[in-house]
């Protein structure tokens, strides 16, 4: 059997995240449907991340084992023929048998998109957080830098997560502006449940004067969820990059 690494992008608006759930449509379920239609076998698919309901992916990696003889260069076209328009495979490669899309991953990068103007953009509906008050991206960037380093981020996780080890290493975190668009980006060796959305809510709380930017290190140290900011809406969040073994997989 071949172990195939699949790279895709998807609009998460219509899905309850990646992971298969009862009584809810997920990306994993739809992707497994496409494999079954193509090969006649419902393969077990391993994803690099669960992703929350409504979260998007510019790059998402998963792997599955198959007896199919379809060449890797043809596999994206074959799978896309059975996938809806909001999910698209754009790369396939054969990987070693012990490769695991989640556990072989060394880091992930997320981007959160904010439409920062009082005037809505119909093309960004459901794809950006609309924030009408003017944001000072330099102030937010300074606040975001406080997350860099190895910390216990249990105060930046929503209840419902199942992990016991809440220590994560953030290697990059910053905020930048491009016209009316403001982008929050963060890369780490792993993320807790809703961690990025709470980080975004925290820097936006700094912009609103409800949290002092200088207090973010103390909030992290306190491990107190009540002291951190609100959980930003899911529709502004995108999984942007997945890194394996120090080599960035094919970027968007």
Whole-angstrom distance, CA of residue 166 vs CA of residue 25 = 29
DSSP string over the chain: -EEEEEEEEE-GGGSS-SS-BTTB--HHHHHHHHHHHHHSS----EES----TT-EEEEEEEEEEE-----TTTHHHHHHTTS-TTEEEEEEEEE-TT--TTTTEEEEEEEEEEE-SSS--GGGTTTSEE--SPP-HHHHHHHHGGG-EEEE-GGGS-TT---S--EEEEEEEEEEEETTEEEEEEEES---TTHHHHHHHHHHHHHTTSS-GGGHHHHHHHT-GGGS-----GGGEEEEEEEETTEE-S--
Whole-angstrom distance, CA of residue 101 vs CA of residue 109 = 15
Whole-angstrom distance, CA of residue 66 vs CA of residue 169 = 34
Q: Find out whether 121 and 166 touch, Cβ atoms under 8 Å.
A: no
Catalytic site residue from 52, 97, 189, 212: 52
Q: Find out whether 185 and 240 touch, Cβ atoms under 8 Å.
A: yes
Active site residue 180: no
Residues with a catalytic annotation lie at: 52
């Amino acid at each position: 059997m071949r172990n195939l690494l699949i790279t895709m992008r998807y609009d998460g608006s219509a899905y309850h995240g990646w992971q298969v759930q009862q009584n809810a449509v997920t990306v994993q379920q739809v992707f497994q449907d496409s494999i079954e239609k193509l090969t006649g076998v419902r393969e077990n698919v391993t994803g690099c991340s669960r992703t929350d309901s409504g979260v998007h992916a510019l790059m998402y990696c998963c792997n599955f084992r198959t007896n199919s003889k379809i060449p890797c260069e043809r596999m994206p076209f074959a799978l896309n023929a059975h996938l809806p328009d909001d999910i698209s495979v754009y790369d396939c490669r054969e990987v070693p048998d012990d490769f695991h899309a989640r556990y072989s991953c060394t880091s992930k990068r997320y981007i959160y998109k904010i439409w920062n103007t009082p005037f809505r953009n119909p093309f960004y509906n459901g794809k950006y957080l609309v924030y009408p008050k003017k944001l000072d991206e330099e102030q937010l960037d300074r606040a975001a830098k406080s997350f860099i380093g190895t910390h216990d981020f249990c105060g930046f996780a929503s209840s419902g997560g199942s992990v016991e080890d809440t220590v994560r290493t953030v290697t990059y975190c910053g905020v930048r502006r491009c016209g009316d668009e403001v982008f929050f980006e963060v890369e780490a060796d792993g993320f807790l449940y809703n961690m990025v959305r709470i980080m975004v809510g925290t820097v936006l709380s700094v912009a609103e004067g409800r949290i002092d930017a200088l207090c973010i290190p103390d909030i992290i140290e306190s491990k107190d969820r009540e002291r951190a900011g609100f959980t930003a809406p899911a529709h502004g969040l995108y999984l942007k990059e997945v890194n394996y073994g120090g080599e960035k997989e094919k970027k968007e």
